[in-house]
Amino acid sequence: MSIFGFLATVKLGEATSGGGFWMPEGASTVAAEVDEVFYFINNINYFFFALCTFVLVYFAIKYRLKPNHHSGFSHDAPTHNTPLELTWSIVPLFLVGVMFWLGMDGYLRLNESPEDAYPVSVTGQKWSWTFQHPEYGVTEAGELTVPLGRPVRLLMTSSDVLHSLFIPAFRVKNDVVPGRYSSLWFEATRPGQYRLYCSEYCGKDHSKMLAVVNVLPEEEFQAQLGKLAREYEDIEDRDLPVYALTRLYNRCASCHSLDGKSGTGPSFKGLWERTKNGTTAFTDGSTLADYMRPGGEFEVPENYIRDSILNPQHYIVQNYLGAMPTFKGQLKERQIDALVLMIKNMDRLVDEQGNPIESPDLGDADISTGAGQ
Ligand code: HEC
Ligand SMILES: [Cu+2]
């Protein structure tokens, strides 16, 4: 085994294969290689840290200014040592050269996604992730389902500020930038659930911008996406509010609470009461009631909820900032209906503390979305 091979495999303080103190166990085709480069560089660092510290301490003691020596310098002390200077220049130069070569080689290969990779479009927004599967017409939020043993390519963009998508177990990370696309690819080697983080500070709730990558064997993967693709179509109208609460609300949860506490946005609790009565005040001094008169924009109050989801910058509620991203293109018509119904029936869906009620009674609930009135 060469010295580099050796340095790359020593994992100080490691017990498990793959994972350990620095990184979780690898679960993608590139993980082993990334780890090798990481441990190679890290172990060289340990070595030189120990060497330099040792020499520093040793010389400090050996050549300290002793009592009864008036000057620390002697005039005939050596000022040069060519072999020594060449050694400490050439050895590090060689090592950094190897580090560059290993890093660049891996970086280039990580950037080139295989032709036949399974495509997923990713949108980062404060503070959640949305994943779209164009092959199935499915949108997921907070969870990304991918096939095992097949390359997956993420085409990513942001609808507000700079984010960064990081899946530690796969050893892949890339910035997610507003106004342009960036990409990332991986091939998962173990089924299971893995953490996905935003690793670029993007505001107040950056630390909550998490998702789970769910790696499924091919057959299960196809079954799961087929199910997600039909999910909201198959649902009966009467079940839409519960569907919205369990499957869609996670996209709103970082800003809208269910228990009345105001967050980045107003709580959903009591929102419908306010909307129906037109008492919501906007930053421009108008109130919702001004637009609810016959012939007005929100004569049908359900339309205000709908408009808030699709054009959030249109009317800004007093005491809040226009921080809500648009969900245009991210939610299907029927899903928007579901959210409107959820907000309308909020007090039947959750209890006083905002916890979901199990099998809520929606028997006589108002499940009209205002459409067609
Ligand atoms: C990044 C934070 C954020 C997310 C995520 C978010 N919103 Fe909002 N939302 C806001 C803010 C801030 C306001 C108040 C300012 C305004 O009117 O645009 C608001 C206002 C609203 C309003 C009007 C509230 C009122 O009191 O009249 C509705 C309805 C609404 N959001 C629905 C949603 C739904 C449904 C989702 C999820 C699909 C969602 N929002 C996701 C921040 C967010
Ligand atoms: Cu972020």
List ligand 1's pocket residues with C-beta within 6 A: 126, 251-252, 254-256, 264-266, 271, 280, 305, 308-309, 312, 315-317, 320-325, 327, 339
Task: Provide, rounded to the nearest whole percent, the portion of the chain with pLDDT above 90.
Answer: 53
Atom 8 in ligand 1: residue holding the nearest Cα: 324
Taking residues 351-358, what's their average pLDDT? Answer: 84
Q: Find the 156 Cα to ligand 2 centroid distance in Å.
A: 12
What pLDDT does residue 258 have? Answer: 92
Question: Which residues of the chain does CATH 2.60.40.420 include?
Answer: 118-232
Q: Ligand 1 pocket check: which of 204, 240, 276, 324 to mutate, most ligand atoms within 8 Å of Cβ?
A: 324
Query: Do residues 110 and 97 make contact, with C-beta atoms less than 8 angstroms apart?
Result: no
Alpha carbon 265 to its chain's center? 21
Query: Do residues 113 and 183 make contact, with C-beta atoms less than 8 angstroms apart?
Result: yes
Q: Find the 137 Cα to ligand 2 centroid distance in Å.
A: 25
Task: Provide, rounded to the nearest whole percent, the portion of the chain with pLDDT above 70.
Answer: 91
pLDDT digits (tens, 9 = 90+) for 80-115: 899 999 999 999 999 999 999 999 998 888 888 888
Is the pLDDT at 322 greater than 80? The verdict is yes
What pLDDT does residue 371 have? Answer: 53
**Of 88 and 64, more confident:** 88
Q: Find the 271 Cα to ligand 2 centroid distance in Å.
A: 27
The verdict on domain 118-232 having CATH code 2.30.110.10 is no
Is the pLDDT at 372 greater than 50? The verdict is no
The pTM score is 0.68
**Confidence class for position 174, pLDDT limits 50, 70, 90:** very high
Question: Which residues of the chain does CATH 1.10.760.10 include?
Answer: 237-349
- Min mean pLDDT across 75-79, 182-186, 301-305 is at 75-79
How far apart are the C-alpha atoms of 313 and 311, rounded to whole Å?
6
- Min mean pLDDT across 222-226, 349-353, 364-368 is at 364-368
Q: What is the mean pLDDT of the chain?
A: 87
Is the pLDDT at 215 greater than 90? The verdict is yes
Alpha carbon 266 to its chain's center? 24
Q: Find the 158 Cα to ligand 2 centroid distance in Å.
A: 9
**Confidence class for position 355, pLDDT limits 50, 70, 90:** confident
Q: Ligand 1 pocket check: which of 205, 280, 308 to mutate, most ligand atoms within 8 Å of Cβ?
A: 308
Query: Do residues 22 and 38 make contact, with C-beta atoms less than 8 angstroms apart?
Result: yes
Query: Do residues 156 and 122 make contact, with C-beta atoms less than 8 angstroms apart?
Result: yes
What pLDDT does residue 134 have? Answer: 85
Q: Find the 37 Cα to ligand 2 centroid distance in Å.
A: 27
Beta-carbon contacts of 238 under 8 Å, excluding residues fewer than 6 positions away, are 362, 365, 367
The DSSP call for residue 188 is: B
Considering every ligand atom shown, identify the ligand nearest to the alpha carbon of residue 210 and give its number: 2
How far apart are the C-alpha atoms of 236 and 196, rounded to whole Å?
33
Nearest to 122 by CA among 195, 188, 171, 177: 177
**Of 51 and 371, more confident:** 51
Query: Do residues 167 and 194 make contact, with C-beta atoms less than 8 angstroms apart?
Result: yes
What pLDDT does residue 284 have? Answer: 92
- Min mean pLDDT across 78-82, 222-226, 337-341, 369-373 is at 369-373
How far apart are the C-alpha atoms of 256 and 265, rounded to whole Å?
5
Taking residues 253-277, what's their average pLDDT? Answer: 91
**CATH number of the domain at 237-349, please?**
1.10.760.10
Is the pLDDT at 6 greater than 90? The verdict is no
What pLDDT does residue 1 have? Answer: 41
- Min mean pLDDT across 12-16, 24-28, 295-299 is at 12-16
Is the pLDDT at 283 greater than 90? The verdict is yes
**Confidence class for position 33, pLDDT limits 50, 70, 90:** confident
Query: Do residues 13 and 46 make contact, with C-beta atoms less than 8 angstroms apart?
Result: no
Is the pLDDT at 12 greater than 50? The verdict is no
Atom 34 in ligand 1: residue holding the nearest Cα: 252
Neighbours of 100 (CB within 10 A): 10
Is the pLDDT at 338 greater than 50? The verdict is yes
**Confidence class for position 246, pLDDT limits 50, 70, 90:** confident
